[in-house]
Amino acid sequence: MDQIAPLILTLRFDERSFAFFDEQRRRYFPPERNFIPAHLTLFHHLPGEHFATIQRDIEICASDRKPFNLDVTGLRPLGRGVAYALASQDLTAMRRHLALTWNDWLKPQDRQNHNPHVTVQNKVHPSAARALLEELEDSFRPFQVTGAALDLWWYRGGPWEKARTFEFKL
């Protein structure tokens, strides 16, 4: 019997914010490994066999939510990459609600404290990552972005496959 692929849940940004992060990702991420657009991962591995329930839970969550601001607070070293660190009480509350809803299904990575970030470089030599971190930190000023929707993806071992987008109400 074939195993059903896992699901990934990400936060989608407004167009302006997405354009900034995605341009950074295209500039700094190794092109041979850059298969997916810029994103903020909320859950890395949800059980695909519960797709209908997960989809319903996300739909309820998103339909009751307006777009919200997130603070981009700084840069975060990833060892072999660099990410922008983000903070938002709205994001924290939404993710906590979904984590409690799906508690029995969560893998250890998704049970850990959530440290929201957008990866713009990964899978490079640590010295290249340190150099980019220093370069970006030199001109960094905190700014805000907007969370506009949730995207649910199938993970089938390569590029992600979009399952559905759940828009926040305007």
Tell me the per-residue pLDDT of 22-69, one tens digit each, with 9 for 90 and over.
999 999 998 888 888 999 999 999 999 999 999 999 999 999 899 999
136 in a domain, yes or no?
yes
Q: Are 40 and 116 in contact (CB under 8 A)?
A: yes
pTM above 0.85, yes or no: yes
Given this model, what pLDDT does residue 2 score?
60
Tokens of 146: 């907007």
In a domain, 126, yes or no: yes
Q: Which domain holds residue 158?
A: 7-167
pLDDT tier at 1, thresholds 50, 70, 90: very low
**1 belongs to a structural domain:** no
Coil, helix or strand at residue 102: coil
Does residue 131 belong to any structural domain of this protein?
A: yes
Q: Quote the percentage of the chain above a pLDDT of 90.
A: 90
Higher-pLDDT residue of 169 and 124 is: 124
Domain count, the chain: 1
CATH number reported for the structural domain that contains residue 153 in this entry: 3.90.1140.10
Listed in sequence order, the residues at least 6 apart from 29 whose beta carbon sits closer than 8 Å to its beta carbon are: 119, 120, 121, 122
In a domain, 2, yes or no: no
Task: Judge whether 121 lies within some domain.
Answer: yes
